[in-house]
Amino acid sequence: MLADIRQAPQGYTACFERRLAYSVQEVWSWLTENDKLGQWFPELRIDDLREGGAVKFDMQDGTFEELKITEFEPESVLEYAWGGEDQVRFELYPETGGCRLVLIEKLSQITDHTPKDLAGWHVCLNVIQKLMDGQAVEGRHEEWKTWYEKYKQILLK
């Protein structure tokens, strides 16, 4: 299912939801523990896990971008800056038999890069699910290309 993309007072939001058969604590660990985070988003690393702390993004050229954590509630909310004026927000909600993971990307504007970003998040959430289920993760790039085409169709018409 594609992200729900809506116009917001200051730009747009893209909202992804996944229902997972794992506790909030288990899912939170995949978002905040570097050994697990690196399995689904190798360029990201938690540097200082607190509001005002930082997530580091490895630019793959020897430099790092520091992404400020703008909201942090343990096992509930993790929000940080994402490339300029944008934000990425993870929310966890306990449910019977597991939890609901919500990822919201707050976009200041839609650009040619937006479908790439959204396809990336889409694949990342699928990878988290597979890793938690103990499944092998294969064909990430091919999956990304499929989702990229779908997001491109709805965003860049």
The count of residues in the chain is 157
Domain 4-110 has CATH 3.40.50.1970: no
Helices (H), the chain: 24-32, 34-40, 114-132, 140-155
Q: What angle do CA 51, 54, 57 make, to 5 degrees?
A: 145
pLDDT number for residue 84:
83
pLDDT number for residue 101:
99
The gap between the terminal CA atoms of the chain, to the nearest Å, is 19
pLDDT number for residue 83:
83
pLDDT number for residue 112:
94
Q: Which residues pair with 19 in a beta bridge?
A: 100
Residue 2 tokens read as: 């594609």
Sheet holding 4-8, edge to edge: 4-8, 11-20, 98-107, 86-95, 77-82, 64-73, 54-58, 44-48
Helix then strand then coil, in percent of the chain rounded to 5, is 30, 40, 30
pLDDT number for residue 156:
82
The model's pTM is: 0.95
Q: pLDDT tens track of the chain, all 157 residues? A: 899 999 999 999 999 999 999 999 999 999 999 999 999 999 999 999 999 999 999 988 989 999 999 999 999 999 999 988 999 999 999 999 999 999 999 999 999 999 999 999 999 999 999 999 999 999 999 999 999 999 999 998 7
